[in-house]
């Protein structure tokens, strides 16, 4: 990120910090709770935003070298994503051309040839059909036109994008606009996949996403955990079409007051630099680290969703953590100890991941399940988004616009 931009964001956060003020959108909205429970809305969003919209499926580090692969089954299309022997990223429908069985059942690994478990047809990691057992019994098949069905796939600046439809349009420049260059500056392509966690709970996927839509709750809901390190109630937000950037301050911001502006570093002064990428991606970038959260509805069930959290680190950060582990200086690590030490207790990468995901699961998403219940009851017809919650305004306005729903209703004072 450009230094001038880092300084201007940090200055705004310092102002809020010093004045005890949060971001102020100058407007409040009411939103119908039907967005979280209506089966028609759920069916429409599944169709428009998941089955027929480009998807960010991971970082380059998920396919760390030729012959690596991942499989996913998140948006109604079983996908096999590979890096072929030339290093090229591909996405295929994970379905054998004989009678449709998944050619790979494993989540991730390294393979040059995928052999279907049913009758053992084999495919290369570039998607070519390379072998049919007992071909003289089966009859002739033109292998050259019976490879795995290829889906549009683009690897750009460390991000892996694909479209779930073979003829779908995948234009990353258009999807990211001016954010493309900014995201490229974080060197995401150099990061290594270090762990993943999946959380499935009884809340609409948009309630999961709403978790990342304000900092108002940090010192309340998270008062004994995250709020001890990052008090919240401050935010810098910038919208980029359907996407946005969300930055909230860390107490470390104080020390920049004594330093010349060219030494200000947003990765130190910010608690989170978070990008929301339409429709369902949260990308949190840090110092040699990135956390990717993908949120998916359960098809046909607006009251249930799955969030997948992936952690990535630079090799340098991984080596440092391994060295700390090896020298035996680490004490007991638990969620409580981490937060009691003001964040300094986060000494292993596993603990960092665990703390992040368990806070989401046991605090944020627990609220989401309660919200889901009250929305489902039908008596609570609307929720209110405050002046200090503009990321929620942006996300829900965008969502409603894309689905052709009525706009959010402004509350007149």
Q: How far is the CB of 105 from ligand FES (least distance, A)?
A: 12
Which segments within 220-269 are labelled E, that is strand?
236-240, 243-249
Q: Are 199 and 365 spatial neighbours (Cβ–Cβ below 8 Å)? A: yes
The verdict on 74 binding Fe ion (CB under 5 A) reads no
From Fe ion, ligand FES, none, which one binds at residue 114 (CB under 5 to 8 Å depending on kind)? none
> Shortest Cβ distance from residue 197 to Fe ion (Å)?
16
* Contact partner, 290, from ligand FES, Fe ion, none, Cβ < 5-8 Å per class: none
What does the buried/exposed string (b/e) look like for 216-247 if buried means 16 or more CB atoms within 10 Å of the residue's CB?
Answer: bbbeebbeebbbbbbbbbbbbbeebebbbbbb
Residue 35 interacting partner from Fe ion, ligand FES, none (CB closer than 5 to 8 Å by kind): none
Q: Does 149 bind ligand FES (CB under 6 A)?
A: no
- Count the residues in the chain: 413
Q: Is the peptide bond before 279 cis (omega within 30 degrees of 0)?
A: yes
Q: Which is nearer to ligand FES, 119 or 387 (CB)?
A: 119
Tokens in use for 402?
């894309």
Under the binding rule (CB under 6 A), the answer on residue 95 touching ligand FES is no
Find which of Fe ion, ligand FES, none residue 85 binds, CB within 5 to 8 Å per kind. none
The answer to whether 176 and 243 have CB atoms below 8 angstroms apart is yes
CB of 133 to ligand FES, least distance (A): 8
Q: What does 277 interact with, of ligand FES, Fe ion, none (CB < 5 to 8 A by kind)?
A: none
Task: Compare residues 155 and 364 and give the one whose CB is closer to Fe ion.
Answer: 364
Nearer to ligand FES, 123 or 365 (CB): 123
Give the residues across from 161 on adjacent strands: 56, 154
Nearer to ligand FES, 89 or 121 (CB): 121
From the list 89, 92, 121, 240, which residue makes contact with ligand FES (rule: CB under 6 A)? 121
Secondary element (H or E) of residue 283: strand 281-286
Work out which of 35, 41, 72, 116 binds ligand FES, going by CB under 6 A. Answer: 116
Cα gap 145→351, rounded to integer Å: 48
Whether 148 and 122 have beta carbons less than 8 Å apart is answered as: no
Site string for Fe ion, 344-373 (x = CB under 5 A): --------------------x---------
Selection from Fe ion, ligand FES, none that 364 binds (CB < 5 to 8 A by kind) is Fe ion
For residue 75, what are its two tokens? 């948006």
Task: Round to whole Å and give the CA distance between 138 and 119.
Answer: 11
**Could you say whether residue 157 binds Fe ion (CB under 5 A)?**
no
Query: Which tokens belong to 371?
Result: 């919200």
What is the spatial distance between Cα 373 and Cα 20, in angstroms, rounded to a whole number? 34
Comparing CA positions, the residue from 383, 376, 368 lying closest to residue 32 is: 383
Q: Is 143 helix (H, G, I), strand (E, B) or coil?
A: helix
Q: Are 102 and 136 in contact (CB under 8 A)?
A: no
Which CB, 96 or 271, lies closer to Fe ion?
Answer: 271
Structure tokens, 242: 């359907």
101, 184, 333, 411: which one contacts ligand FES (CB under 6 A)? 101
Instruction: Give the one entry of ligand FES, Fe ion, none that residue 382 binds, where binding means its C-beta sits below a cut-off of 5 to 8 angstroms depending on kind.
Output: none
Nearer to Fe ion by C-beta: 57 or 207? 207
Q: Which of 96, 183, 283, 317 binds ligand FES (CB under 6 A)?
A: 96
Q: Which of 2, 118, 131, 259 binds ligand FES (CB under 6 A)?
A: 118
- Size of the residue set binding ligand FES (CB under 6 A): 9
The count of other CB atoms within 10 Å of the CB of residue 90 is 20
Query: Smallest distance from the beta carbon of 33 to ligand FES, in angstroms?
Result: 45
What is the C-alpha separation between 287 and 80, in angstroms, rounded? 31
Applying CB under 6 A, the residues found at the interface with ligand FES are: 96, 98-99, 101, 116, 118-121
Applying CB under 5 A, the residues found at the interface with Fe ion are: 364
């Amino acid at each position: 990120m450009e230094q001038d931009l880092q300084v201007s964001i940090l200055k705004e956060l310092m102002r809020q910090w010093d004045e005890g003020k949060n971001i102020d959108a100058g407007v409040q909205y009411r939103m119908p709770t039907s967005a979280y429970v209506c089966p028609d809305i759920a069916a429409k969003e599944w169709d428009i935003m998941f089955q027929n919209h480009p998807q960010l499926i991971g970082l380059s580090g998920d396919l760390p070298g030729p012959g690596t692969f991942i499989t996913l089954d998140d948006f109604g299309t079983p996908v096999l994503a590979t890096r072929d022997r030339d290093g090229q990223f591909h996405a295929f429908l994970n379905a054998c051309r004989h009678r449709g069985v998944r050619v790979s059942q494993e989540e991730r690994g390294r393979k040059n040839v995928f052999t279907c478990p049913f009758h053992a047809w084999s495919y290369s990691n570039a998607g070519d059909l390379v072998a049919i057992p007992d071909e003289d019994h089966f009859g002739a098949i033109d292998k050259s036109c019976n490879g795995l069905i290829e889906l549009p796939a683009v690897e750009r600046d460390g991000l892996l994008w694909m479209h779930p439809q073979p003829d779908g349009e995948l234009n990353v420049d258009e999807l990211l606009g001016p954010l493309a260059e900014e995201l490229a500056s974080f060197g995401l392509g150099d990061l290594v996949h270090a762990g993943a966690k999946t959380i499935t709970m009884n809340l609409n996927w948009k309630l999961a996403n709403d978790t990342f839509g304000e900092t108002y709750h940090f010192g309340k809901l998270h008062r004994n955990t995250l709020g001890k390190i990052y008090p919240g109630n401050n935010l810098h937000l910038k919208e980029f079409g359907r996407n946005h950037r969300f930055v909230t301050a860390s107490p470390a911001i104080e020390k920049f007051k004594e330093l010349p502006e060219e030494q200000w570093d947003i990765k130190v002064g910010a608690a989170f630099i978070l990008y929301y990428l339409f429709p369902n991606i949260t990308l949190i970038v840090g110092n040699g680290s990135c956390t990717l959260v993908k949120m998916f509805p359960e098809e046909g069930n607006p009251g249930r969703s799955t969030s997948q959290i992936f952690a990535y680190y630079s090799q340098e950060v991984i080596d440092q953590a391994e060295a700390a582990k090896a020298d035996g200086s680490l004490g007991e690590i638990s969620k409580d100890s981490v937060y009691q030490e003001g964040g300094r207790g986060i000494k292993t990468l596993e603990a960092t991941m665990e703390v992040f995901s368990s806070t989401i699961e046991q605090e944020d998403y627990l609220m989401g399940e309660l919200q889901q219940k009250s929305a489902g009851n039908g008596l609570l017809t609307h929720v209110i988004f405050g002046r200090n919650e503009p990321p929620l305004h942006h996300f829900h306005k965008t969502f409603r616009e894309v689905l052709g729903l009525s706009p959010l209703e402004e509350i007149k004072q």
